[in-house]
């Protein structure tokens, strides 16, 4: 079963810390999202394998936009 990691707020992706196919643990940092001049770490909500990364550096995202899919 796949798990979607969603953007908690609108902002800009400034760093992607994982690649597709990587194994990640719960609470591992996946992305850095800049919002209101603050850097926000987006972490895995569960352990699993990164199935798909839906964003890249400099992408602007909206609240609840899918960022990463874990399987």
Q: Can you give the pLDDT at residue 23? A: 98
Handedness of CA 54, 26, 45, 17 (dihedral sign): negative
| pLDDT per 10-residue tile (average), the chain, 71 residues | 94 98 97 96 96 98 98 95
Handedness of CA 53, 42, 19, 12 (dihedral sign): positive
Q: Can you give the pLDDT at residue 1? A: 77
What is the CATH number assigned to the segment(s) 3-70? 2.40.50.100
The residue extents of the domains of the chain are 3-70
Terminal alpha carbon distance of the chain: 6
């Amino acid at each position: 079963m796949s798990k979607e990691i969603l953007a908690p707020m609108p902002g800009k992706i400034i760093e992607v810390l994982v690649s597709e196919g990587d194994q990640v643990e719960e609470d591992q940092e996946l992305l850095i999202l800049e919002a209101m001049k603050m850097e926000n770490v987006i972490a895995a909500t569960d352990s699993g394998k990164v199935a798909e990364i839906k964003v890249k550096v400099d992408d602007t995202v909206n609240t609840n936009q899918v960022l990463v899919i874990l399987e």
